[in-house]
Amino acid sequence: MKQLIPYLTTDHCKEAVDYYHAIFGGEIKNFQMSDGIPGFEEYPNKVLHAEIVVNEQITLYLNDIFQTPVAEGNSVILGLEFDSEAEITKVYKALAEEGSIEMELQEAFWGAVHAKVIDKFDFSWELNWEK
């Protein structure tokens, strides 16, 4: 295996792309809308696929929900490992701002700084910085 790429499916994909791009930075690539695509006529103004390439190791894929009902958030936990305390603190605050905190940013028993946050789209994030 080479890499795990989380694929986030939501009813608010355009908003989610802007939200995560503002938090993590990087570049939005391959943003494809359903409009004008054969087979998707009954789903106007939906995002078929979007990518946020944060860096060489981290890419997020996102799309809108189409036919299959999806229980947002609780079936996926996204784990992020950070390079610095400043970086984990910045992302923690941004995700928690309109979300909820499951575990405050704190010293963990394994020698890391760790937190658990549910963002405003109900996705669960485990944040970790090994000191």
Per-residue pLDDT of 65-112, as tens digits, reads 876 666 655 557 788 989 999 999 999 999 999 999 999 999 998 899
CA pair distance 11, 98, nearest whole angstrom: 17
Strand partners, 19: none
Give the whole-angstrom CA distance, residue 11 versus residue 66: 8
Q: Which residue has the tokens 């609780």?
A: 74
Topology (CATH) of 78-130: 2,3-Dihydroxybiphenyl 1,2-Dioxygenase; domain 1 (3.10.180)
Q: Label residue 13 exposed, middle or buried (CB < 10 Å: 0-12, 13-18, 19+).
A: buried
Mean of per-residue pLDDT scores for the chain: 89
Domain ranges within the chain, ordered by starting residue = 7-64, 78-130
pLDDT recorded at residue 6: 87
**7-64: which CATH topology?**
3.30.720
Q: Which of 1-5, 57-61, 70-74 is predicted with the least confidence, judged by mean pLDDT?
A: 70-74
- How many helices and strands, by DSSP H and E, does the chain display? 2, 8
pTM for the structure as a whole = 0.80
Check pLDDT > 50 for residue 61.
yes
Q: Which residues contact 130 (CB under 8 A, 6 or more apart)?
A: 81, 111, 112
- The mean pLDDT value for 55-66 works out to 89
Per-residue model confidence (pLDDT) at position 1: 46
Q: How far apart are CA 90 and CA 87, in angstroms?
A: 5
